[in-house]
Each structure stands twice: as C-alpha cells, then as structure tokens.
Amino acid sequence: MKKPLLVLTIFWALLTSVGNAQTHKAYTPTAFPDRVILGWQSNPATSQSVNWRTDSTVVSAVGAIHEADAGPDFVKRAAIVPATTETVLIEGKQILYHSVHFKDLKPNTKYSYRVGAGEQWSEWFHFKTAEDKAAPFSFLYFGDAQNDIRSLWSRAIRGAYSAFPSVQFMLHAGDLINTSNADWQWGEWFEAGGWITGMVPTLATPGNHEYYRDAAGKGRVSMHWRPSFVLPENGPDKLKETTYYFDYQGVRFISLDSQAALLDSTVMDAQAEWLVEVLSNNPNKWTVAMHHHPIYSTANGRNNDEWRVKMEPIYKKYHVDLVLQGHDHTYGRGLNMPLGVSRKYPDSPIYVVSVSGPKMYTIGLQDWMDRAGSNTQLYQIISVDGNKLSYKSYTVTGELYDVFDLTKNAGGRNKLIDKSPTLAPERLALPPEYQTRFKPEQLEEYNNRFKEYKKRKEGKK
C-alpha cells in the first residue's frame, strides 16, 4: 500500500516543481504593457503618475488621457504624453520600465487613461484626482504580503477592493515580497493586484525583504523598487522613493525607510532630521506615518530599540496621530501609555502592526496592545472626515476584527473611542507550526502570557 502512495507523492512533487517553473516563465515581459501601477510624484489634486513594464523592443512609449466620458468617442481626442523610459538589467534580460506624469489636471475629476506604444496598448483605466482642499476620503493599509503572494495574498487585496471599491489609494507597509530581486515574486505581487493597481494609486514603504547586499556588502533597496513604482521624490537624497511624504485632502502621509535606518545610523539621523522638518511645517489637521519595523513590537525579542528611541519622541512632539507598520506577522493595536492610566485621551500616536499575507509568527501579547490577533490575514480601511478618523480592520474572509475612532477637538487633542470590546473575541491561538515546534516550557510560557493578557483586558472593562 505504501508504494503507490510514494509514487503519487513523487509525481505530485514533480508536477509542483514544473508548475513553479512555468509560473516563473509566465512573468517574462513582452511588448504589451504589464505591471501597470498608479502613484504620485506631484500634487494628487492636479497630477497623476503611472508606471509600467515592457520588453526591450518597445520604442516611444506614451500615455493617453482624457476626462472620463460614458461614450467611447473620447478615444480619438485623448491627449498623448511621452513616457520616460529606463532600461534595467533583470536576471540577465534588458527590461524597459516606463513612466508618464499627467499634469495640469482638474481637481476632483475622473479621467480615463491608457499606456502603450505602436499597436500595443493597455486597456483604458479610470482614476479620480483628489480635491484641492480638506474633504472626506478613505484608504487601504496592508501589512506584509511576502509569501505565497499569488495564491494567498491575492485574496487580501482583492477582498479589500471588492469590499471598498471607492478608496482613494492603498498603503503597503513593507515586505511586499520575500526575496528582494526575484522577478517572479514581483510578478506574483502585480498579478495578485491585477488591474486594481492601474485604478487605485499605490504608495509603499520598503521592508527588510526589499533589501539585499551588493557585491561590496552594502545594503541596497531592490533593483525593482524605483523602476516599479512612481512615488514622491521629496525625501533625503539617498532615500528617493523610500522616504517621502504627500498631502491628501487634509492629511499628511509620511513614509520612512526603517530598514535603511537600521543598517546605517547616519541614515537614521538624516531621516530624523528630515522628519522634524516635514512635521514642523505641516498645515494638515491629521498626520499618518508608515514604516516597516514597529516602534513597539507585537512579539518578544523583536523590539527595534534604536528606531523607537530616535523616532517616538518626534512623533509625540509633533502629534503624529497614527503609525502603520508591519514586520511582525501578527496583529496589534495600541499606544504607549502606562497600564492603569486612561487611554481615552492618548498622548502618543495609535500604533498598528498588521499582516496581510499567510506567513505567521507567534504573538507576544505585549502591554502596549489593546487589541491583538494571531494567525490571521487582515486588511484595514481608514477614513478621514473633518475632525474624525475612523479605523477598521477586517479578516480576509470579511469579518470586522478591530475598530476605533479618533476625534480631534479645536485644540488638536485626540479622543480615542475604542469599539473593539463589542466585537467577537480575539483570535489568539498559536499558528499550527508553533504548536508543534514549541517545547513544553515554551507552550507553558505562552499560555502564561495569554492568561496575563486576558486578565489585563478584563481589568479594563
């Protein structure tokens, strides 16, 4: 009986390896535009940038744009904008990345656009420019995608867009892929997003898995990063399109490159100086920061002390409202206030750590956390409307997992309205691999932490 099972197992392994090889080949570029993605390098109310990829045979790539029209006749009247093209050597092949910057657009206006060259064109996509003043809007936030991107992370981005198709943009908090320069992983990431990235602007910050060491041993961001995205170039000189900010309808969004900072203390200092400048000249009511490594970890032994010591005082001094993070492959939401002190009026940002992909770690259930989650893929929808910021986290199967509101008074002080106690119990079971890998003493230690966490939560009611 065992021999047929062994033969079947070997056959399945061979079939899987062939499938994986074919998957890798599927991402070979052609003359047809692929990996189309929106971003910004200028004012979101009057501009829109788009990026895409082709093989090396394409010449004179362009974008075409017109105000959206329900009839098809606009196609002949569309304005043609020349693209900027960059040649990148990827896995021994010359790949072309093209960028177009549509400028002088009308605020709060829907446009149709497509990209291509000669006879090879993308489909017509729609986007809408921002309003040129503070106004209600929503955006999506994703923690690490990283592994099994095509097969399992796809349900996070597709589920999020299906539930909230009117979002204005998406934020990704690093580790979009697992291996910095593996083109097939970037191919899976773009395939998972599909046409969504051509409709909804994507703003990302790099994680440790977006970095690699060059021949000289120096840490560098993935060779795919800058060619693949169109992000603001207003950061420090050595951190173009990894550290940046943009303003959107009354909110300042800031991306920080925590991996570059942790690799080089001078880079950390430069980012801190830049951050002070960006925050001290901030006319917006709300401020949201995003970076990969958490200020406060959700796991034991993963604290990034030097990052926290450098950045948290700046966050507190300049009243950053919300910090979105990844890296720890669990879920945690809370703030840095002593136990026993009311969290109703936070004196620090609300910190969130989330994970959207299937790679899971054990959770630490730390004291800073007011809501925790283990072994759960999630996405977040965040809405801003005047003096109110509303946050909701959903599992990839659509269940509401966490929810809170921040309201800001005339003096700029925030009030936290935590609605999570009305939700279903937290998902705190260890991932199966840890249940089998942990020694009895490790399981006992986790169970003790679990009991202490539940006791603390009960004491808050």
pLDDT of residue 24: 58
Residue 419's DSSP bridge partners are none
Phi/psi for 62 (5° steps) reads -145, 170
The helix-helix angle for 305-317 and 265-280 (nearest 10°) equals: 10
pLDDT digits 0-9 by tens, 180-210: 999 999 999 999 999 999 999 999 999 999 9
Give the Cα separation of 426 and 345 in Å (integer).
24
Q: Check residue 129 and report its DSSP letter.
A: P
Which burial class, exposed, middle or buried, applies to 211 when counting CB atoms under 10 A from its CB (0-12, 13-18, 19+)?
buried
Residue 332's DSSP bridge partners are 353, 372
pLDDT of residue 303: 86
Q: Which tokens hold the place of 196?
A: 């969504």
Q: From start to end of 214-321, where are the E strands?
A: 219-221, 244-248, 251-255, 286-290
> Which amino acid is residue 437, in one-letter code?
R
Which residue intervals of the chain bear CATH 2.60.40.380?
Answer: 34-128
- pLDDT at 153 > cutoff 50: yes
Mean pLDDT across 83-87: 98
| CATH class label, 34-128 | mainly beta
Distance of CA 160 to the CA centre of its chain: 13
pLDDT of residue 8: 42
Mean pLDDT across 79-98: 96
Which of 181, 230, 219, 205 lies closest to 35, judged by CA? Answer: 230
Homologous superfamily assigned to 137-460: Metallo-dependent phosphatases (3.60.21.10)
pLDDT of residue 302: 86
- Report the percentage of the chain scoring pLDDT > 90: 87
- pLDDT at 140 > cutoff 60: yes
228 close to 35: Cβ distance less than 8 angstroms: yes
CB under 8 Å to 139, separation ≥6 — which residues? Answer: 167, 168, 169, 170, 171, 381, 382
Mean pLDDT across 220-244: 97
- pLDDT at 340 > cutoff 60: yes
Mean pLDDT across 64-78: 97
Mean pLDDT across 412-429: 96
Mean pLDDT across 322-343: 93
Residue 389's DSSP bridge partners are 384, 406
Mean pLDDT across 382-410: 98
- pLDDT at 107 > cutoff 60: yes
Indicate the helix (H) or strand (E) that contains 317: helix 305-317
Q: Which residue has the tokens 């032994």?
A: 301
Mean pLDDT across 57-80: 97
- pLDDT at 397 > cutoff 80: yes
pLDDT digits 0-9 by tens, 270-312: 999 999 999 999 999 999 999 999 999 998 778 899 999 999 9
Mean pLDDT of the chain: 93
Give the Cα separation of 400 and 355 in Å (integer).
15
One DSSP character per residue, 394-425 reads EETTS-EEEEEEEEE-TTS-EEEEE-GGGSPP
Q: Which tokens hold the place of 138?
A: 């929503």
Q: What are the CA-CA distances from residue 74 to residues 12, 67, 68, 109, 430 (Å)?
A: 51, 8, 8, 15, 55
Which of 451, 373, 379 lies closest to 155, judged by CA? Answer: 379
pLDDT of residue 87: 97
Distance of CA 60 to the CA centre of its chain: 32
Mean pLDDT across 433-445: 91
Indicate the helix (H) or strand (E) that contains 162: helix 154-163
Residue 49's DSSP bridge partners are 39, 101
pLDDT of residue 11: 45
Distance of CA 411 to the CA centre of its chain: 31
363 close to 212: Cβ distance less than 8 angstroms: no
Phi/psi for 20 (5° steps) reads -65, -40
Which residue intervals of the chain bear CATH 3.60.21.10?
Answer: 137-460
34 close to 54: Cβ distance less than 8 angstroms: yes
Q: Check residue 212 and report its DSSP letter.
A: E
pLDDT of residue 338: 83
pLDDT of residue 461: 53
pLDDT band at residue 342 under the 50/70/90 scheme: confident
Residue 213's DSSP bridge partners are 219
